[in-house]
């Protein structure tokens, strides 16, 4: 089985590592426009061989694990290049534009739209890790548009590396994911910005910040090259979440200004309920 990983970073590289373990006979080919990453991925054993798009006709499975704007640029070319029995899987954090761009493609049935809910704030081949997908959810969109035997091949692979599958339409995916993922990233980036702007003396941040600050700004380490295109493709939903978030912050501020600390208490108490939700995630 020839597996092609387009984008040998955290997400693509972690698939490569788990596939090597589950399919010892698989040969892993890497494609990356960043030649340093490609070299690094080879050296780290994430991929077996560095190739270019020209080699795609040999692929049985292709993972497209690059920023979502780059996926929009290359996806139809990838489908053009693969043979009739290959499955091309994208793993981007937006699904609507990506499903739209391949809608009329003659090889639409060779494509599977997915979003593995997994990752860290790090990027590049060094960030790839075995077992990243263990017990994580993979959201698959428009599964009925993928050829049945290719669905089977992809689902067997996801199952072997420990993923749970959930099916969803691309519009619902983009709407929900704006709340539970995209908004968290903006909240974190802007929190980091607010503190950095204020605390010109970093020593003060080092000394006074604890694990709480660290936890809330962790996502502000994330890659802008990955996230700017996600916000662009999910613009309408993300703006809606931002408006609701800003509205809630504004209301909290007004309650403070009115010295209504009983209401502040209740706001927090109602949200404490998040404990149960987070227990459900684990």
Tokens at 141, concatenated = 């969109």
192 touches its own copies (CB under 8 A): yes
200 touches its own copies (CB under 8 A): no
The b-or-e profile of 125-149 (16+ CB within 10 A means b, else e) is bebbeeebbeebebbbbbbeebbee
**Residues 131-190 interacting with its own copies (rule: CB under 8 A):** 136-137, 139, 164, 166, 176-177, 179-181, 183-190
Smallest separation, CB 243 to its own copies (Å)? 7
Query: Cα torsion at 125, 217, 278, 260 (round to 10°)?
Result: -170
Smallest separation, CB 212 to its own copies (Å)? 5
Q: Which of 212, 222, 236 is nearest to 190 (CA)?
A: 222
15 touches its own copies (CB under 8 A): no
**Residues 214-273 interacting with its own copies (rule: CB under 8 A):** 214-222, 224-225, 227-229, 231-232, 235, 238-239, 241-246, 248-250, 252-253, 256-257, 259, 261-262, 264-273
127 touches its own copies (CB under 8 A): no
Smallest separation, CB 161 to its own copies (Å)? 16
Query: Cα torsion at 43, 48, 51, 54 (round to 10°)?
Result: -170
In the shown chain, the binding pattern of residues 77 to 116 toward its own copies, with x for contact by CB under 8 A and - for none, equals ----------------------------------------
Count the helices and strands in the chain (H runs, E runs).
13, 8
Q: How far apart are CA 249 and CA 186, in angstroms?
A: 14
């Amino acid at each position: 089985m020839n597996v092609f990983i387009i984008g040998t970073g955290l997400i693509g590289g972690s698939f490569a590592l788990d596939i090597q373990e589950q399919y010892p006979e698989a040969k892993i080919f890497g494609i990356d426009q960043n030649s340093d990453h490609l070299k690094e991925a080879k050296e780290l054993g994430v991929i077996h061989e560095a190739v270019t798009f020209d080699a795609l006709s040999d692929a049985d499975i292709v993972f497209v694990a690059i920023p979502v704007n780059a996926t929009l640029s290359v996806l139809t070319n990838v489908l053009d290049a693969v043979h009739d029995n290959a499955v091309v899987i994208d793993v981007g954090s937006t699904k609507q534009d990506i499903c739209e761009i391949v809608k009329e493609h003659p090889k639409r049935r060779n494509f599977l739209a997915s979003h593995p809910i997994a990752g860290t704030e790090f990027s590049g081949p060094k960030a790839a890790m075995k077992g990243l997908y263990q017990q994580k959810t993979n959201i698959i969109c428009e599964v009925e548009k993928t050829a049945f035997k290719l669905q089977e091949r992809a689902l067997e692979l996801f199952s072997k590396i420990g993923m749970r599958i959930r099916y969803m339409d691309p519009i619902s995916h983009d709407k929900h994911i704006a709340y539970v993922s995209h908004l968290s990233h903006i909240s974190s980036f802007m929190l980091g910005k607010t503190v950095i702007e204020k605390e010109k003396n970093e020593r003060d941040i080092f000394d006074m910040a604890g694990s709480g600050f660290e936890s809330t700004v962790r996502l502000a380490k994330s890659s802008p090259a990955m996230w700017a295109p996600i916000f662009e493709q999910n613009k309408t939903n993300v703006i809606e979440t931002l408006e609701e978030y800003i509205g809630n912050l504004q209301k909290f501020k007004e309650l403070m200004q009115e010295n209504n600390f009983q209401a502040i208490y209740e706001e927090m108490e109602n949200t404490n309920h998040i404990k149960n939700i987070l227990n459900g995630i684990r």
